[in-house]
Chains A and B, each alone.
Chain A
Amino acid sequence: MAVEIKPPDLYTIGKRLPKIDAWAKVAGTARFADDLVLPRMVYGRLLRSPHPHAKLLHVDTTKAEQLPGVVAVATGRDLPRQWGIMPTTVDEYPLAVDKVRYVGDAIAAVAALDEETAEEACRLIEVEYEVLEPVMSIEEALDESKPKIHEDRSKDRNVFKQIHYEFGDLEQAFADSDLVMEGEYWFEGSNHVPIETHSCVADWGHDGKVTLWTATQVVHYIHREVAKVFQLPLSHVRIIAPPVGGGFGGKCDPFSHEAAAILLSKKSGRPVKITLDREEVFYVHRGRHPVKIKLKTGVDSQGNIKALHSQTQLDGGGYASYGIATTFYTGCLIPTTYKTDTFRFDSMRLYTNKPACGPKRGHGSTQPRFAVEVQLDKIAEKLGQDPAELRKRIAIEPWTKTVSGFQITTCGLVETIDRAVQASGWKDKHGKLPFGHGIGIASSAYMSGAGTAIYWNDMPHTGVQMKIDRGGGVAVFCGVADIGQGCDSTLAYITAEELGIEVSDVRVLAGDSDLTPVDLGSYSSRVTLMAGNACREAARKLRKLVFEAASEFLEVPEERLTAAWRKIFEIDNPDHYMDFDQAVWKAESKHGTLGATGSYTPPHNAPPYRGGTVGITPAYSYTTGIVELHVDPETGQIHVDKAWAAHDLGKALNPTNAEAQIEGCVYMGLAEGLGEEQVFRGGLHKKPSLLDYKIPTFLETPEIKVILVETDEPEGPYGAKEAGEGPLNPFPPAFANAVYDAIGVRFDKVPITPTDVLKALRRR
């Protein structure tokens, strides 16, 4: 039984400390995947399909193999085993074997002495296709006359998955409602656009073991998938995530280039690097699903939600990716924000001949949230209520359950509304600004980590190991991948906090499947809460060992000791102390080599029905977003003037980093309102470059004001919940609601482009 020893004060947690990797990143010495160079390394490129839908009849690599400088060529036939991130929907090959399903689907790969030669060799590969009719939209995917994209998987047309859940008697509840509002909404797809394109280096050794350095968010899942398709024991595969140059969900799948690099390294006996270009990133995608949402809301005269019925159709692209989870999330996460008496959702994901969609920040909850929040704005207007006041009245309450049985723990939603309203001057602005100027509000909830792993097991979701050196320094090993969100730093702050040492005494070794215990990965905003808890547990075990030794030396009972400033001292008599490293020596003498582990398993809080495990979490975060903007009636341009985000994150372990995550969310949410769209003409992406796919610069991004709301979540380390995804969700709808406030026109879709605005203004 561990002794609970509270330090007199939190002394690293809650402080505005630099991130531990910031120094290398400002000096240019952080080594990302594309910065790695190994002796004898060669460069790989992929041959990708020019057709959105075609059978592969024959792939002839003879000419490519003969090109001087080429060291290896590989095709799908070399690795004819399927993989896929979700174990129940495995539907893709690392390199296409018999069929291609989107423009960009990888077919073959070449390794050569330089990239140019590899590229040229790819052009020499002769592919014979039988071109098939492509299926390019939700409507076409539902058309019986269209060919099936996955003959063996979809029984009904090109339907990938359909789900229906009903909680309570909706028919009666709609009949009892004072106002029933119906709407149809469209949320366009978008790419993550990490500034670092995907990159990896594979090295197949003569011991039959392979190492892959790759820009991934999910070391453990890649470890499993690589072992599976190469038929290797896990012990023969080592996956290492170097610092990742942004992810946002885009580096969560196993990718063709990763398998290709391994295959080419095996064939050539040399390390192989493959780095995608920007165009490939747009085609590889796995981004935000385009979703059509039909929403019916029934409310009483006060705006309390009596009934909510959501129907979503997701344009999934050519493969499953995380699509089954996305399909659930477009429905099941809706009732976590407001009290809802009855709820039904019908969600359907379709296969189309476009790049596969997957998880992007807010994963599947962002699109229906847009519909719910715009519709609430309409309801508030109809009822003559202030939209902020309405949201406060119907806000879900702490320590309750949703109508679908999800456990709500701490909930600061009302406080987020109050504080965003106050900071923004909402009451003096909403409905009161001159024509062309507007302000809009929206709220949302998000998971602090999925409560269920993607493959069923009873093991922890994360683990941490710790060792301590004879100078009092501590090494923390954990399978997380730092994608810029700062998880390595968070582990260091927690370790320093518990052991009373400085953050600089802590070294974090993360994301290496050979060295670090499993963590499921940097997705679903799970790391701070889950790995944070595991880290705290390991550190407390280590502290116990050190305190036992210190207790003997200082002749003070353990429970009267505390640690801070690299010292262990008697709580009531701070002059009586020993140095931490001295205590470590005593502890190692007493116990032998010092080490500890910690792990975390989320609470088993799923409601008792099939599918009830999707959408649960240890704790939901809450956000309110307010956007102030003006519209130029001449050009249709929308300029966001300022944005406020009040976010209940439980506890800010480092307020600077938490604000930074939230600011990034605000930016990305506004970008999806302002114009980012992953759209196609024929099978081709209309905007596969940063020249065409405009992401907001400094000039289109407003001043962002972040308000941190702390609710002290008992399940989170030091009370913490997530801050990396949820704060995005209010911004597309708050933006659309602000546009309405500015020009009196509803846009039930995002993005809202200048063309949309001009057309609407002319119609007025």
Chain B
Amino acid sequence: MVERTLIELRVNGEPRTVAAPEHRSLLEILREDLNLTGTKHGCELGECGACTVLVDGKPMLSCLLLPGQVQGKEIETIEGMAVDGKLHPLQKAFAEFGPVQCGYCIPGMLLTAKRLLEVNPSPSSKDIREALAGNLCRCTGYQKIVDAVQMAARELKLEASKGQPAPSPVASR
């Protein structure tokens, strides 16, 4: 019997406990133990970015993270990006302005972009390209992703100027 360790996480704001072998990746824990299949696997080597999640607010590749590295951490997956049933402005912009083709890279792309807009609310297209360079997309040629991130940035600033609360509990940390 493979030895398992108890891992305690907060996932999308909820406390979760998983018993997993030491070599099980966070990606597997999320997809297989917690049924959070919105996080995708594309290469298992940390190259494609499809498995990106936010760990304590920062984009990390869940396929490369082992239980010991995520013990007690705050994890945000794509399933946690909409708050109270309301999509994040990035999600809305991605749905409306055409960057979603097959959609397989989109969860990782959105979470990376979310962090970018938290640290840089008015990114240039160069800023966006640099921040998202670890997330590969095979459908779009990236153009519409850059455009949609800029649309969302404008929307977020508009929301902020109206004094609305930040859209996600992780974002406010």
Contact = CB atoms under 8 A, between A and B. Distances in A.
B91 A26 contact: yes
A194 interface: yes
A193 B100 CA distance: 17
Given A660-B99, A663-B144, A689-B45, A31 B37 contact: yes
A600 interface: no
A28 B146 contact: no
A699 B130 contact: yes
10 contacts: A23-B87, A23-B95, A27-B87, A32-B40, A197-B42, A243-B102, A278-B43, A484-B102, A667-B141, A690-B43
Nearest to B2: A116
A667 B104 contact: no
Nearest to A697: B133
B153 interface: no
Interface in A365-419: none
A222 interface: no
A704 interface: yes
Contacts of A660: 98-99, 101, 139-140, 144
Shortest 9 CB-CB distances between A and B: which pairs? Answer: A28-B38, A484-B102, A25-B103, A28-B78, A245-B104, A667-B141, A663-B141, A690-B47, A35-B37
Interface stretch (B3-11, B105-113, B158-166): B105-113
B102 A691 contact: no
Output the residue of B101, B125, B129, B141 with the most chain A CB within 10 A: B141
Interface in A634-676: 656-657, 659-661, 663-668
Given A27-B38, A278-B42, A698-B133, A196 B106 contact: no
B78 A691 contact: no
A608 B5 CA distance: 71
Contact of A484 (B48, B92, B103): B103
A485 interface: yes
A704 to B, nearest CB: 5
Nearest to B107: A28
B136 interface: yes
Given A16-B98, A194-B102, A701-B142, 5 more contacts: A19-B98, A32-B40, A37-B37, A690-B45, A703-B143
Contacts of B145: 698
Interface residues of A, number: 56
Main secondary structure of the interface of A (DSSP, over half): loop
A195 to B, nearest CB: 4
Interface of B: 31, 35-45, 47-48, 50, 77-79, 81-82, 87, 91-92, 94-107, 110, 125, 128-130, 132-146
Contacts of B98: 16, 19, 656-657, 659-660
A247 B40 CA distance: 16
B102 A196 contact: yes
A277 B100 CA distance: 23
B132 A21 contact: no
Interface in A1-45: 16, 18-19, 21-23, 25-32, 34-35, 37
Contacts of A23: 87, 95
Output the residue of A196, A666, A699 with the most chain B CB within 10 A: A196
Contacts of A701: 141-143
A132 to B, nearest CB: 32
B44 A193 contact: no
Contacts of B140: 660, 663-664, 667
Contacts of B36: 28
A484 B139 CA distance: 8
Contacts of A657: 98
Nearest to A643: B141
Interface string A426-444: 0000000000000000000
A122 B170 CA distance: 43
A248 B141 CA distance: 14
A599 B43 CA distance: 40
Given A195-B136, A690-B48, A697-B133, A25 B42 contact: no
B142 A698 contact: yes
Contacts of B96: 18, 22
A663 B144 CA distance: 9
A687 to B, nearest CB: 12
Interface string A689-724: 111000101110101100000000000000000000
Contacts of A703: 125, 143
A52 interface: no
A28 B79 contact: yes
A659 B142 CA distance: 12
Contacts of A689: 43, 45, 47
A695 B136 contact: yes
A563 B42 CA distance: 45
Contacts of B78: 27-28
B2 to A, nearest CB: 9
Contact of B95 (A22, A28, A248, A665): A22
Contact of B104 (A32, A659, A690): A32
Given A660-B140, A703-B143, A243 B133 contact: no
Nearest to A698: B129
Contacts of B48: 195, 690
Nearest to B111: A28
Given A245-B104, A484-B103, A27 B82 contact: yes
Interface in A276-310: 277-278
Contacts of A212: none
A219 interface: no
B106 A25 contact: yes
